[in-house]
Structure 1
Amino acid sequence: MIFEWVSYIAFYLLVAVFGAFLAYCLYVHHVHQKYDHLPGPPRDNFLLGHAPTFARTMKSDSLIHDLFLEWGEKYGPVYRLNTFHQVTIAVHCPEATKTIMMSPKYIKDPTVYKRLYNLFGKRFLGNGLITAADHDIWYRQRRIMDPAFSSTYLRSLMGTFNDMSERLMDHLEEIADTKTPAIMHDLVNCVTLDVICKVAFGVDLNFLKLTESPFQDAVELCLRGMVLDVRDPFFALMPKNWKTIQKIKDAAELLRKTGEKWIQERKTAIENGEDIPQDILSHILKTAEEEKVNSAKDHEQMLDNFVTFFIAGQETTANQLSFAIMELARYPEIYKRAKAEVDEVLGTKRDISYEDLGKLTYLSQVLKETLRLYPTAPGTNRWLHEDMVINGMKIPGGCSVLFSSYVSQRMEQYFKDPLKFDPERFDVNAPKPYYCYYPFALGPRSCLGQVFSQMEARVVLAKLLQRFEFNLVPGQSFDIKDSGTLRPKSGVICYIKHCS
C-alpha cells in the first residue's frame, strides 16, 4: 500500500514538473514570437538563448563589449538578445537614447540591478544610488547626497587632491631612481582609494605604503564577483567554484563592516560634540538628520552607498587614468602637447588650483577621449514599460533596453576613424556628438560623482606630466580587461624618468 502511494505521489510530481516545464517552454515560445520580428544574432539554444555565447566569451577572456559592437555593426541600431525567457533590446540610436535616458519615467531595469543587490546571497550594492530602480527611493537618496557634491564643496577638495597626488609623485621619485618598471594602474589605484577614503570618510590610510591591503583585495574580489554573478547563471552551481564564492562574500562583508565602523565612529563623534572633518560623510549625515532619515532601513542604504563609493568612485577613476597614461605613452605628439600645456599653466608650482584646472583644456580633451575609447562603466539598462517605435521598428513593452556607451562611442557612423585616439574630437570648435557619448550615463540617473572624478583625474595626470617622463615597457598588451568596470589588461607597465 505504502509503495503504491509513493508511486502515485512520484507519478503526479513528475506530471506536475513536466507540466510546469511545458508551460515554461510555451511561455518562452510566446516571448520569441513577440520579439522575433527584430533583427539579432541566431540563438544558441531555444531555452538558453544567447547565454552560451556570453559564457564562452567570458571563458575565452574576450571582451563581451566587442561582441556587442560586432552585433551592433551587423544588425543595426536596434537588435534583440535572448536569455531564457528574458529579452534585452540593445539600442545605439541617438534619438531613442535621448528619449529614454533623459526621462525619469523609464526606470533602471529591476531584473538587472537586483542582481547587484547581493553578491551570491550577500548584500552588496543593495538599494544604493546605482542599483535603486524605484524612482522615489533613488530620488530620496540623491537629495541627501547632492549637497556633498556641490560646486563649493568640490572646490574645497583641491588641497586633498594635491596632497594625495603628491604621495604618488614621491613614490614615483623612488621608482625613477631605481630605474625599475612601474605598474601604473596599481599606483593610481592606491591614490584614488586614498582620495575617496579621505574626502568621503575622513580616513587616511596611505595605500602606497601598505604592502598588503585586505581592503583593496576586497574591492577587487567584489568586482570579479559582480561579473561572475550577473553574467554566468551557472557559476554558483559548480562545487569547484564554492571556495571562490565564499571569498567574494567575505569581501562584501568586509566592505560593509568597514563602512558600518566608520559611520558609527562619526555619529558618536557628533553626539559627543567633537570636532569632525567637513567631508562627504559629514554632509550626508547632516542632510539625513534634517530629512529625518535615520531608520534601520536607511542605515543599510547608507552602507549600500558606502560600498558604491568605493566600487564606482575609486575604481573607475583609476581605470581612466591608467588608460590615459597608456595612450599618452603610445602617441608622442599628443604627449608633448599635453605636457606643453601643463608646463605653461603650472610651471614649477606644487599645488594646482581650481582655476588652473579650467586652463588645462587639452588635458581635459585627452581625458574625454580616453573615456570615449575606454568608458570604464560601459553600459546601463532601462525598463521599457510601454510599446515604443525605435528606428522604425515597434518594440513591445515589458523588456530591458541596453545602452552601451562602449558600442556607440566606437562606431564609425558617430565618430570618424573611431579606434584612433584623437583628443581633437573634443576641441571647443569640433562638432558635438549627439547622444552617442555618455561615459557617465545621461539624464537624471547620470553619475553624481562625475565632476569630482574629472577634477581628481586632471590633478593626478597634470602632476605626472609636470614631473616625469614615462615610456611603456615593450611587449605588453593594450587589451582591455572586463572586471565589471573596464581596465587595461597589462596594468600599463612604464619606465619612469625625471623630467630633464
Structure 2
Amino acid sequence: MASIAMFCNISILDQNWYYRLPSILASSFTIAFLLHYLIRRFGRHHGRDPPSPPGLPIIGHLHLIGASFPKSFQALACRYGPLIRVRLGSEAYLVASSSAVAEEILKTNDACFLSKFETGPTHFNIYRGTGFITGPHGDYWRFMRKLCVTRLFGGAQFDRFNSIREQELAKLVKSLMKWSEEGRACDLNVELETLANNVVCKMVMRRRFLLSDLRCKEMRRMVSEIMDIAGKFGVNGLFGVLSKVDLFGYGRKLQEALWRYDDVMEEIMKDYEENSFGSSRTSGVEGEKDVMDILLETYRDENAQVKLTRKQIKHFIIELLMASIDTSAATLQWAMAELINRPNIFKKLREEIDSITGVNRLVKESDVENLPYLRALVKESLRLHTAAPMIPRECNQDCKINGFKVKSKTRVLINAYAIMRDPDMWEDPDKFMPERFLHGDDDDDFRFLPFGGGRRGCIGYTHVYMIMHTTMAALVQCFDWKVKDGEHVDIGVALGFTGAMTHPLLCYPTARFHPF
C-alpha cells in the first residue's frame, strides 16, 4: 500500500509539473534576460569591452553559429571586428580573427597568455588537472616543455626516430602496392591514420610496439574510444551545471574507458621498469631509449626539478596520441585531396621529386631540403586546411589587446582559419597556390599559424612537417590516383571546431614506381 501511495503522489507531481512547464520556462527566460541586461548595463569593469553581437538568454550566441565554428566566427569578425566577445551557453570567449591581434596575443603579450583551458567533459576525466598540452602555465609545464625540447623530441632524439619514420613509410607504400595489384579502392585516410599511429606509438613506446603493429592498433582503438565518448557529451557541456550531469551515461563510460587505458599503461610502465628501463639505464646507451624510457628515468630521478607522477606520465602519453595521430592523418588527407583535384600541380611536384631521386630509389628525409616545391605545397595545404583552426588560450593577468581590456581568466580563441584566409593578407585566399610560399619563409609570420604560436605553440611541428614531406613525396612518386565514383575529391569540412574532412578519401592507387 505504501508503495502504491508513493506511486500516486509521484504521478500527480509529474502531471502538475507538466502543466506548469511552459510558465516555468517563460519565467526562467525572462529572469535570465533581465540578469543578462543588468550585468551588461551596470556590471562592466572600467575600460572598453570588446564588441559583442546581440545574444539571447541562456544560449548566448549559439544561434549565430553554423555547422563550422571557424567559418561562423569569421563571418562575425567581418561585421563586428577582429576581436569580439561571444557566449556559447554558459561559457564566454574572446575570438581573435586577424594576424595583428594574434601577434598581440602570441608575441607582444605572450607572457599573459601562457595558459590553456581544458574543454569537454573535464568532470569525468580521471586525469583532470595533470595535463601538459592543455594544462595551465606553471612549474610542471615549464619542466615538461624543457624536457620535450632537449630530450624527448628535439635534437639528436628526433634524428634517432628517423628509422621508425622510414620503416612505417615503407609499410604504407607496400600496403598501397597491394591495393594496386588487386585493383581495389582503398580508404586513404585509414592508411594514413595507420602510418601516423604506428610512428607515434613506436616513438613513444618503441620497446613495447616495435615488433607488433597489432598492439599499435589496439592502442589506437582504445584512444579512439575515449575520444568518441568524450565527443558524445554534445551541447549539454555548454550549459553550466549540465556539464556535470551524466545525462546519458557517457560520463560513466568515459571513466571506464580511461581506467582501461590506465590499467594498460600501468602494465606497460611496470614492464619497462622490470626489463627495458633497467637495461637501458645500466648500459648508458641513450640511442636505445624511447620516450617512455626517458619519462621513467625522470620519474626516478630524485634530483629532478619537478617530481613526475605516474598519473602525469599516463596523461602525457594519451595527450601525445590524441594530438598527433588524427592531426597528422587529417593534414595528409587534405593535401592529397588538393593534389588529386589538381593534376597540373601533381605533375609539377612529381617532376621535382624525380629530378632529385631519379627512378631508382624512394624519397628520403635528407631529400626534403632540395625539394622547395614540396615544402611550399605542404605549407599551402596547412594554410587552407589546418588541423587546429581554433587556437585556445587563457589570460593569466589583466592586459590590453587591440585597445580593449582583457581580464585574467578570460578564455580566448584565435581563429587561425580566418587569419590564414584573410583577403587583406593573402592574394586569392581560398585558392590552392603553393607558389605563394616559394618566395619567403612565413614560419614566424602571424599570418601563418597552423601550429599555433608563442611559447605554447606545438612542440611537435618538426615531426609533422617531416611526416608530411616524405609521405606526400612517396605517394606522388610511387602512384597515380583515381577517385572512386567521380573525377574529383568532394572537399567538405566536418562540423564543429575541427578542420576534418567530411567524407572518406576513397581512391584507386595505380603503381607507377616500385621502390622495393
What's the offset of the Cα at 1:173? 0.8
What is residue 270 of structure 2 aligned with on the other side? 264
What is residue 41 of structure 1 aligned with on the other side? 53
Q: Please say if residues 68 and 496 of structure 2, whose CA atoms lie closer than 8 Å, have aligned partners that are also in contact.
A: no
C-alpha spacing 1:349/1:199, structure 2 compared with 1 (3 Å): farther
- 1:438-449, aligned counterparts within 5 Å? 438-449=449-460
Larger displacement relative to structure 2 (262-271 or 190-199): 262-271
Partner of residue 141 from structure 1, selected from 110, 128, 144: 144
Is residue 489 from structure 1 mapped to residue 495 from structure 2 by the alignment?
no
Partner Cα distance (1:65, 1:402) in 2? 10
Is residue 421 from structure 1 mapped to residue 432 from structure 2 by the alignment?
yes
Cα deviation digits, residues 61-103 of structure 1 (max 9, x gap): x222221122122222111102456431111233332232235
Letter in 1 for 2:269: I
Larger displacement relative to structure 2 (328-337 or 23-32): 23-32
The sequence identity of aligned pairs, in percent, is 20
Partner Cα distance (2:404, 2:475) in 1? 49
Partner Cα distance (1:467, 1:122) in 2? 44
What's the offset of the Cα at 1:109? 5.4
Q: Please say if residues 192 and 317 of structure 1, whose CA atoms lie closer than 8 Å, have aligned partners that are also in contact.
A: yes
What's the offset of the Cα at 1:201? 0.7
What's the offset of the Cα at 1:428? 3.2
Is residue 164 from structure 1 mapped to residue 143 from structure 2 by the alignment?
no
What is residue 195 of structure 1 aligned with on the other side? 199
Q: Please say if residues 115 and 135 of structure 2, whose CA atoms lie closer than 8 Å, have aligned partners that are also in contact.
A: no
Letter in 2 for 1:69: Q
C-alpha spacing 1:387/1:137, structure 2 compared with 1 (3 Å): same
TM-score, with length taken from structure 2:
0.80
C-alpha spacing 1:29/1:82, structure 2 compared with 1 (3 Å): farther
- 1:387-398, aligned counterparts within 5 Å? 387-395=398-406, 398=409
Cα deviation digits, residues 464-484 of structure 1 (max 9, x gap): 112111122245631122576
Partner Cα distance (1:291, 1:29) in 2? 55
Q: Please say if residues 101 and 382 of structure 1, whose CA atoms lie closer than 8 Å, have aligned partners that are also in contact.
A: no
Partner Cα distance (1:167, 1:101) in 2? 39
C-alpha spacing 1:271/1:40, structure 2 compared with 1 (3 Å): closer
SS at the partner of 2:378?
A: helix
SS at the partner of 1:486?
A: coil
What is residue 479 of structure 1 aligned with on the other side? 492
Show structure 1 runs of 5+ residues with no match: 1-17
Cα deviation digits, residues 121-154 of structure 1 (max 9, x gap): 1325752221111332210221222212122221
Partner Cα distance (2:334, 2:85) in 1? 31
C-alpha spacing 1:384/1:430, structure 2 compared with 1 (3 Å): closer
What is residue 415 of structure 2 aligned with on the other side? 404
Partner of residue 308 from structure 1, selected from 319, 324, 330: 319
Is residue 455 from structure 1 mapped to residue 466 from structure 2 by the alignment?
yes
CA RMSD of aligned residues (A): 3.5
Q: Please say if residues 93 and 411 of structure 2, whose CA atoms lie closer than 8 Å, have aligned partners that are also in contact.
A: yes
What is residue 111 of structure 2 aligned with on the other side? 105
Partner Cα distance (2:31, 2:168) in 1? 60
Q: Please say if residues 148 and 280 of structure 1, whose CA atoms lie closer than 8 Å, have aligned partners that are also in contact.
A: yes
Q: Please say if residues 114 and 395 of structure 2, whose CA atoms lie closer than 8 Å, have aligned partners that are also in contact.
A: no
Letter in 1 for 2:51: P
Letter in 1 for 2:53: P
What's the offset of the Cα at 1:331? 0.9
SS at the partner of 2:172?
A: helix
Show structure 2 runs of 5+ residues with no match: 1-26
Report the count of equivalent residues: 470
Partner Cα distance (2:510, 2:60) in 1? 52
Partner of residue 134 from structure 2, selected from 120, 131, 134: 131
C-alpha spacing 1:321/1:238, structure 2 compared with 1 (3 Å): same
What is residue 255 of structure 1 aligned with on the other side? 261
Cα deviation digits, residues 17-45 of structure 1 (max 9, x gap): x99x97997478425753895433321x2
Partner Cα distance (1:253, 1:294) in 2? 29
C-alpha spacing 1:77/1:22, structure 2 compared with 1 (3 Å): same
What is residue 77 of structure 2 aligned with on the other side? 72
TM-score, with length taken from structure 1:
0.83
